[in-house]
């Protein structure tokens, strides 16, 4: 990267030396050798022990700072803590929720989402967020599979799941957030406001403290659903340590950027508050593990929207002095290319980061051109790694725009052949990741757990290579999956929905490249002899089974059988080439 005469040549420090300095004794990001469940790991010495302890620290340190802003609702750290205290007491005393019970959170990014999440975590329950775009059938599966005892939902979700509740005997209680005070015929259903009032009144609730519950770093904290190769989501179980370590992974990568520039790491300014525009759902690992909890740890502000709209985001960025935006490449592209971008003061933006979907290298140069003071960033992680495992930021990203970054010192990556043997630098194989942020196992899926979690390593299913300095380059996915705007879509799930139509004989789903979303869903279908169905009819059929984002945007029909290799596997690269990339 060009440098003036007074600046040292970049980089002034190698990745290995920067990681060693940041992880050394006395550093806020110090790491040491540890053992978790019999597995030797690098662990962060100064990480808070639990999610509850982060909540307590934030409420005591920045009580009057805004934490969550949603439209005309502004919730301070103190107000959130008061609401959490009262709801945690209700969970324990009114509903009998005990340590290890599953509490589902299924709603839009309302202020009530973090109340339910932190209340569950603060009493040792396992917070179980679910995709608020799921259909009723998908919600029924998620609630049943995790054995959820109590669910906190919004009104739209309740309407979607109401007819399924008779099939959910373990679901004892449903609490509806932002309820309009309606009397519900089902005795299992109550309104959240009955217990804590509306968001703007939380600050006047009494300070009653959190219920006394003993929680430690290795106690289970969350179940996050992730798609599986069978088409049914799997619940990835994470401990408090895993969730919190993810934040320290990110912080190490951000600090490493400064060391490689030759800059000192500044002391935190107690009067500075950064602000993130929340453009992705809290139910994603990125939304909760990489934004919600880290913002609380740092005393930052989160500004949420009813749904993402780049045009509506621009005045919010100006008004709230947003410093960080991102989530998936689609969001970055939409901001960069919006025709009204120059009508607003966006100078507060310091970082535009994303991950979770394929991104074009040209996105980096576009960010630097239009936001020269903003550090672009991209990373790699997955639900099973509690979000962030690597982060490519600043000059490293500009110089290696196709890389997902190098891991921090606490994270080990290796490339393996099909037999699990480590491959040399530069060779393509399957990516394995060992990190203190790795999940513990899949909930009630011992076979899938044995396949993915091996002696501290997560076997990712991603095909990748690692260069001599440790930078990760993703090549392809070993699993038959595509990613649309950050949403994992397993092809077999959509193919099963297509096969469910009586006219379909054979079907294959592939990703269509899309500049903004990364990929969209495409399908090639062979119909049964004498049967007819239109593309729109088939799309409507899939929409009746799966969430809208999984419905193919384009379906091609052919009379001849789909191309297969000698083993009977469909030749998807050949099918993929038939589709034209979308803008």
Domain boundary among 430, 453, 477: 477
Q: Are residues 424 and 485 in the same domain?
A: no
Residue 487 and residue 470 in one domain: no
Say whether both 134 and 167 belong to one domain: yes
CA–CA–CA angle 159, 162, 165 (5° rounding): 155
C-alpha to C-alpha distance for 569 and 571, rounded to whole angstroms? 6
Average pLDDT in the 78-92 region? 99
pLDDT at 520 exceeding the cut of 60: yes
pTM: 0.85
Instruction: Retrieve residue 554's tokens.
Output: 């384009």
Q: Are residues 35 and 112 in the same domain?
A: no
Question: How far apart, in whole angstroms, are the C-alpha atoms of residue 38 and residue 82?
Answer: 38
Cα(255)–Cα(269) distance, integer angstroms: 15
Q: What is the CATH number of the domain that holds 295?
A: 3.40.50.12780
In a domain, 53, yes or no: no
Range of the domain at 43: 15-47+238-477
Our count of domains for the chain comes to 3
110 occurs within a structural domain: yes
Residue 91: closest CA among 145, 127, 61, 43: 127
> Nearest Cα to 251, choosing from 198, 297, 206?
297
Within 8 A by CB and 6+ apart from 342, the residues are: none
Residue 16: pLDDT above 60?
A: yes
Same-domain status, 463 and 501: no
- Whole-number pLDDT of residue 182: 73
| Same domain? 267 vs 413 | yes
Tokens 């973090």 locate to 114
Percent of the chain with pLDDT over 90: 72
**Domain co-membership, 266 together with 289:** yes
The pLDDT of residue 493: 82
Packing angle, helices 51-61 and 112-122, rounded to 10: 120
Angle ∠(268,59,190) on CA atoms, nearest 5: 140
The total of other beta-carbon atoms located within 10 Å of residue 526's CB is: 16
Same domain, 495 and 567: yes
Inter-residue contact 387 to 285 (CB < 8 Å): yes
Q: Are residues 468 and 363 part of one domain?
A: yes
Q: What are residue 405's DSSP bridge partners?
A: 472
Does the CA dihedral 68-72-76-81 come out positive or negative? negative
* 225 is a domain residue: no
Report angle CA 16, 22, 24 to the nearest 5 degrees. Answer: 95
- The answer to whether residues 155 and 242 belong to one domain is no
What confidence score (pLDDT) does residue 229 get? 44
How does DSSP classify residue 545?
T
How far is 399 from 416, CA to CA, in rounded Å?
26
- End-to-end Cα distance, the chain: 30
Residue 270, burial from CB neighbour count under 10 angstroms (0-12, 13-18, 19+): exposed
In the chain, % of residues over pLDDT 70: 95
Within-domain flag for 2:
no
Shared domain check, 485 and 473? no
Judge whether 526 and 562 are in contact, CB under 8 Å.
Answer: yes
pLDDT of residue 474: 86
Mean pLDDT, the chain, integer = 92
Cα–Cα distance for residue pair 11/19, rounded to 1 Å: 14
| Boundary of a domain, candidates 438, 453, 477 | 477
pLDDT, tens digit, for every residue of 521-565?
999 999 988 899 999 999 999 999 999 999 999 999 999 888 875
Instruction: List, for residues 435-490, the tens digit of each pLDDT value.
Output: 999 999 999 999 999 999 999 999 998 889 999 999 999 876 666 788 898 888 88
The verdict on residue 220 lying in a domain is no
Spatial distance between the Cα atoms of 387 and 66, rounded to a whole number of angstroms? 25
Q: CB of 295 within 8 A of CB of 304?
A: no
- The answer to whether residue 286 sits within a structural domain is yes
Residue 192 pLDDT more than 90? yes
582 occurs within a structural domain? no
Q: Once rounded to an integer, what is the mean pLDDT over residues 352-369?
A: 74
Q: Return the CATH number at 116.
A: 3.40.50.980
Contacts 24+ apart (CB under 8 A), 499-502: 500/541, 500/545, 501/533, 501/538, 501/541, 502/528, 502/531
Structural element, H or E, at residue 329: helix 329-336
Flag whether 9 is in a domain. Answer: no
Examine the domain organization and report whether 379 and 287 are in the same domain: yes
Of 433, 462, 477, the domain-final residue? 477
Question: What CATH number has the domain bearing residue 538?
Answer: 3.30.300.30
Longest Cα separation, the chain: 76
């Amino acid at each position: 990267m060009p440098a003036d005469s007074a600046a040292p040549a970049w980089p002034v420090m190698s990745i290995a030396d920067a990681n060693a300095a940041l992880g050394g004794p006395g550093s806020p990001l110090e790491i040491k050798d540890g053992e978790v469940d019999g597995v030797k790991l690098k662990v962060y010495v100064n990480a808070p022990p639990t999610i509850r302890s982060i909540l307590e620290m934030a409420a005591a340190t920045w009580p009057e700072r805004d934490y969550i802003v949603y439209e005309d609702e502004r919730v301070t750290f103190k107000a959130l803590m008061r609401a959490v205290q009262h709801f945690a007491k209700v969970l324990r005393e009114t509903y009998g929720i005990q340590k290890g019970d599953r509490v589902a959170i299924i709603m839009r990014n309302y202020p009530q989402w973090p109340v339910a999440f932190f209340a569950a975590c603060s009493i040792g329950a396992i917070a179980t967020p679910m995709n608020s775009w799921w259909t009723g059938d998908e919600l029924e599966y998620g609630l049943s599979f995790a054995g959820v005892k109590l669910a906190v939902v919004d009104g739209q979700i309740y309407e979607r799941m109401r007819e399924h509740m008779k099939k959910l005997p373990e679901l004892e209680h449903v609490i509806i957030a932002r309820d309009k005070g309606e009397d519900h015929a089902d005795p299992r259903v109550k309104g959240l406001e009955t217990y804590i009032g509306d968001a703007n009144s939380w600050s006047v609730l009494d300070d009653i403290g959190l219920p006394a519950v003993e929680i430690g770093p290795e106690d289970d904290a969350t179940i996050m659903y992730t798609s599986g190769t069978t088409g049914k989501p799997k619940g990835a179980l994470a401990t408090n340590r895993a969730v919190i370590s993810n934040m320290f992974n990110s912080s190490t990568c951000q600090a490493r950027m400064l060391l490689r520039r030759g800059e000192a790491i500044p002391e935190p300014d107690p009067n500075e508050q950064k602000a993130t525009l929340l453009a992705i759902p809290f139910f994603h690992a990125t939304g909760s593990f990489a934004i919600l909890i880290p913002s609380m740890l740092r005393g930052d502000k989160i500004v949420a929207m009813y749904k993402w709209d780049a045009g509506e985001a621009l005045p919010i960025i100006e008004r709230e002095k947003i410093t960080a935006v991102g989530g998936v490449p689609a969001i970055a592209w939409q901001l960069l290319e919006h025709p009204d971008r120059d009508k607003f003061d966006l100078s507060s933006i310091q970082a535009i980061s994303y991950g979770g979907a394929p991104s074009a290298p040209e996105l980096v140069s576009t960010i630097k051109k239009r936001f020269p003071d903003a550090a672009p960033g991209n990373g790699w992680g997955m639900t099973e790694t509690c979000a962030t495992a690597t982060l490519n930021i600043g000059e490293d990203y500009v110089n290696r725009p196709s890389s997902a970054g190098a891991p921090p010192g606490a994270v080990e990556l290796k490339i393996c052949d099909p037999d699990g043997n480590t491959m040399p630098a530069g060779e393509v194989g399957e990516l394995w990741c060992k990190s203190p942020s790795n999940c513990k196992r899949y909930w009630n899926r011992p076979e899938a757990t044995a396949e993915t979690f091996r002696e501290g390593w997560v076997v990712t299913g991603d095909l990748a290579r690692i260069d001599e300095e440790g930078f990760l380059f993703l090549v392809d996915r070993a699993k038959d999956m595509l990613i649309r705007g950050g949403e994992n879509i397993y092809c077999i799930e959509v193919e099963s929905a297509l096969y469910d139509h009586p006219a379909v004989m054979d079907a294959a789903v592939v990703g269509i490249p899309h500049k903004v979303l990364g990929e969209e869903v495409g399908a090639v279908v062979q119909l049964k002899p004498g049967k007819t169905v239109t593309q729109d009819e088939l799309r409507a059929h899939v929409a009746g089974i799966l969430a809208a984002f999984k419905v193919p945007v384009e379906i091609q029909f052919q009379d001849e059988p789909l191309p297969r290799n000698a083993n009977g596997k469909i030749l998807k690269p050949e099918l993929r080439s038939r589709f034209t990339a979308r803008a």
